Structure formats: structure tokens, C-alpha cells
Amino acid sequence: MDKIKNIGVLTSGGDAPGMNAAIRAVVRAAIYYELQVTGILRGYEGLINGDFISMDRKSVANIIQRGGTILKTARSDDFRTKQGRQKAYEQLKANQIDALIVIGGDGTFTGANLFVQEFNFPVIGLPGTIDNDLAGTDFTIGYDTAINTVINAVDKIRDTAESHDRLFIVEVMGRDSGLIALRSGIGAGAEAILIPEAKTGIDGLVTRLEHGRKDKASKIVIVAEGDDAGGAFKVGEVLREKFPSYDIRVSVLGHIQRGGKPTCMDRVLASRFGVAAVEGLIQGKSGEMIGQVNREIRFTPFGQAIKHINAEEISPAWLKLVEILSL
């Protein structure tokens, strides 16, 4: 492989707070190592269409603290086709881009994996998703911000719950993974946490909510959107039947969970990843996602990263912790 001279960078899939910090780090590191860096707008869609912008130090000034992504993001159907990827490859060649850094989640890396195999083109992935559902990294960029957004919202809801002695059922993001629910549920002091990884027994839930209701009538139940009990509204219906006299309310936090200023942890993680990704490309790495495991940088092949095994926290030990704390 020839020496890399020009790195392309894009964000893809759902946006996550800290993506801008990652872009900034990629650009700064590229400049540090005397490489050019090209911003690609709107993810793979912009890659196929050649929506490229040249980036320098000033392009990324004053963005580390901003949510969203200045490169914009999109989901691309075209990149799922061989023709789409072929077109993307031609755009890269036509623009003298030698290597690619893609910031996103499992969909992003699935595409990147095919692309690397088909064109032998150097690509490094950065885990940018609030879901924290990638193998090969303890944390993804955006997860820490999202769980803080959740607990700040639940803190507000608890003010109301306490004042009215209400039971609130709060739905948080997580179609396949209960990680946001679990961690934010512990952080918010929830009385119960329902996640896809653990079968929800309504009877157990009812017992738990009855416990100590005389002492502390206000309760918070956190429900991951993908829980088998069927989302917060469904849980609300069931509980209203079980507790006819209880004042039960449902709140779906929704899209606020994706935005906002990134936390310090997400900014530092993204900064570290961005620099290490550039260094990885220089060292000849490709087809791998960068991650942080036990505080060290680690590279994991795309094929393994997308296997969604980040289940450490959904262990019996963590579930017991929830049980003790929500006493």
C-alpha cells in the first residue's frame, strides 16, 4: 500500500453527542501528521455523491462542545448495493482520498466491512452511537451523554412524582439493548428497570412496586423501548389494571436523548479515538473499529465489533445490584 496522504472522514447512522469532538480530533491529528483531511457530508450518501469539503484547523474550531455532527449524517440505501459502493470507491479515487475514517454504529461498520473486502481500501471505524452496543469497546461515543440526559430528565420527573405520590413509567432508548435503561435506571434511582435482556415478569414487578408503597408512594420504572413487556404505554396499561387507585403516568423521553453537549467523558473518548484512528491508518491498519477496553486503546475487526456483545453490565451481578438499590 502506498503512503496515505489524504484521509476522508464521515459520520453515519444516528447522530451521537461527541461526534464533533471525534471529527475535530481526526482533523487535528491528520494535520499533526502532515496529512490532508477531507470531510464527507451526509455519511455514505455524500460519499457516493461526492459531497466533499476540504478541512483545516479552523474547520473544527469551537465544535468540541456541540452535539450533533457538523458533517451531517444519513442512512444510505445505495451503499448497501454493490453499485453504490463502487460509485463511492470511484469518488474516493477521483478525489485522491487514500483512506477513510467512518464514525457510526453497527450499520456503518457493516457497510465499511463490505467496502474494505471489495476494494481493499483502508477504513478505520470509530464507535459513535448512544446505544453502547458494540463489541470491542467498553464505551461508545455518546453513551455517557445519553445516560446523563436521561437521569436529568428523570430527576425532573421525580420532582413531580414525589409531589403527587405518582408512579411514572419512563421509556428510554434501546431497541435491542437495555444498557441505557440499566445504567440510567441505577443513576436515577429507579424502583424498577425493564430491559430486553431480562424477561419481565409482571407479577414480580407488581410485588416490587407494592413494597414500601406506604412509606414512599412515588416510584419510577424505567423501560427500554425494546423490552418484551412492550414499551412504556403497554406497561402503563397493565399496571393501571393491577393498581386501580394508583396515579400512574407514562413519559417517553424520545429524541432529546440523542442531542446536547457531550459530557467530558464523551469528549475525551472521542478525542482519543480520533487521534488513534489516524495513527492506526498510518500504521497500516484497516477493517477495524477502534475501541477502549480497560482504559487501553484496542482495535477489533468490523466483523466482530458488530456482534453486539457488550453485555458485561447485563450480568446477574448488575441485576442484583438493581434489586438491592431499588429496595
* List 90, 118, 210, 312, residue binding its own copies (CB under 8 A): 312
Cell representation of residue 164: 403527587
Q: Tell whether residue 87 is among the known ligand binding residues.
A: no
131 is annotated as an active-site residue: yes
Residue 137 binds its own copies, judged by CB under 8 A: no
Residues between 272 and 301 with contacts to its own copies, criterion CB under 8 A: 272, 275, 294-295
* List 244, 255, 283, 316, residue binding its own copies (CB under 8 A): 255
Q: Specify the residue, 77 or 162, whose C-beta has the smaller distance to its own copies.
A: 162
- Closest contact distance (angstroms) between CB of 89 and its own copies is 25
Q: Interacting stretch for its own copies, rule CB under 8 A, among 21-29, 86-94, 100-108, 111-119?
A: 21-29
* List 54, 65, 117, 207, residue binding its own copies (CB under 8 A): 65
Q: Interacting stretch for its own copies, rule CB under 8 A, among 96-104, 111-119, 161-169, 298-306?
A: 161-169
CA-based nearest residue to 211, from 192, 237, 224: 192
Residues between 96 and 125 with contacts to its own copies, criterion CB under 8 A: none
Residue 53 binds its own copies, judged by CB under 8 A: no
CA-based nearest residue to 298, from 266, 267, 273, 268: 273
Q: Tell whether residue 218 is among the known ligand binding residues.
A: yes
Place of cell 430528565: 153
d(CA 127, CA 305): 9
Residue 233 binds its own copies, judged by CB under 8 A: no
Residue 55 binds its own copies, judged by CB under 8 A: no
CA distances from 318 to 193, 198, 321 (A): 11, 12, 5
d(CA 153, CA 138): 25
Q: Tell whether residue 188 is among the known ligand binding residues.
A: no
**Alpha carbon 167 to chain centroid, angstroms:** 29
- Closest contact distance (angstroms) between CB of 1 and its own copies is 23
143 near 130, Cβ under 8 Å?
yes
- Closest contact distance (angstroms) between CB of 107 and its own copies is 14
- Closest contact distance (angstroms) between CB of 309 and its own copies is 15
* List 73, 76, 132, 177, residue binding its own copies (CB under 8 A): 73
Half-sphere exposure of 89 (CA within 13 A, CB side): 17
Within 8 A by CB and 6+ apart from 311, the residues are 197
Residue 216 binds its own copies, judged by CB under 8 A: yes
308 near 107, Cβ under 8 Å?
no
Residue 230 binds its own copies, judged by CB under 8 A: no
d(CA 221, CA 240): 13
CB atoms within 10 A of CB 246: 16
Cell representation of residue 153: 430528565
- Closest contact distance (angstroms) between CB of 139 and its own copies is 10
* Active-site residue set: 131
